[in-house]
Amino acid sequence: MHIRIVRYAIKIGYDGSHFNGFAMQPGKKTVEGEILKRLIKTKMIENRKQCKFQYAARTDKGVSAFGNVIALNAKVNPAKVLQGMDDIWVTGYAIVEKNFNPRHASYKIYRYYLPNEGYDVEKIKKAAELFEGEHDFSSFARKDSRNTRRKIYRVEVKERKAGEVIKIDFIAPSFLWNQVRRMVAALAAVGKERASIEDIKEALNGKRVNFGLMEARNLVLLDVIYDIKFKRILPGQLAVKKEIYKDAFDYISNATHSWNVGFRKSVE
């Protein structure tokens, strides 16, 4: 009996602090390397080339993702064998056309979590508006980058109720390498009055300005959007991690130190 080979798009998330980036590197633990290792070990595929493995975003070392997308050809749904991996989780899948390439997305959403260390949030919001539209982002890219013109649909700056963290979302069809981290560095400089809104205007008008580079660990690829519908999966592993991190934050912020008091009273 002939078993039809189907192309699958799989939405994945991962904790970037446990990997040396997404793309395969000899002798290093990467997201792509761990996924391919699992697929080959379970005989889901023979090798990378045979299954036409592709991905939406090549995130750097330390960068996490909630909704990166991989695509490959397989006889059965690969999402099943990828569930339960350490620090990688499947959040959805879709059957797609044979020529589907995850790099050709409608747009991507990156979010940077900026610890609020006395920033002027209103100034950051005003500066963020300057990035919207099409600009030459040469000041926010490597010096050897060729085509540095990019279009950004929207930049949203949100502050958590307690004010400890500023969340900055960047929505665009594509980004230059390290572009988001450099833009956040510029916004942070404005928020601390180390740079002005005029400095960002000049940088977007061709003047070379170095605002620095923010650390990778606070950057997350939030989602990659296509004109296709993914069947959602809620990974149990992620639900457990959510509770662990929530309890850790509550404990550190003294919200649940009463556990200790309550336990001690019960045994005294």
Task: List CB contacts of 53: < 8 A, sequence separation 6 or more.
Answer: 32, 36, 45, 70, 71, 72
State yes or no: pLDDT of 76 exceeds 70. Answer: yes
pLDDT band for position 260 (cuts 50, 70, 90): low
**Same structural domain, 19 and 86:** yes
What number is the average pLDDT over the span 31-40? 95
- The residue ranking higher by pLDDT, 33 or 243, is 33
Closest CA to 221 of 78, 55, 83: 55
Mean local confidence (pLDDT), 78-89: 87
Q: What is the mean pLDDT of residues 56-80?
A: 94
Which CA distances in Å does 30 have to 24, 86, 223, 225? 6, 12, 19, 23
Residue numbers of the domain that contains 192: 107-220
The structure tokens listed for 191 are 């928020």
For residue 146, what pLDDT is reported?
78
Which of the listed ranges 110-119, 136-145, 235-244 does the model predict with the highest average pLDDT? 110-119
Domain count for the chain, please give it.
2
* Sign of the Cα pseudo-torsion (246, 249, 251, 253, in order): negative
Catalytic residue, chosen from 15, 60, 87, 136, is: 60
* CATH for 235: 3.30.70.580
Q: Do 99 and 118 have their domain in common?
A: no
pTM over 0.85: yes
Q: Amino acid letter at 226?
A: Y
Does residue 138 sit in helix, strand or coil? helix
Distances (CA, A) of 47 to 5, 98, 104, 159, 199: 15, 18, 23, 45, 49
Q: Are residues 16 and 90 in the same domain?
A: yes
* pLDDT of 206: 83
Does residue 43 form part of some domain?
Answer: yes
Active site includes 223? Answer: no
Assess contact for 15 and 64: CB atoms under 8 A: yes
Length of the chain: 268
Say if 267 falls within a structural domain.
Answer: no
**Mean local confidence (pLDDT), 139-153:** 87
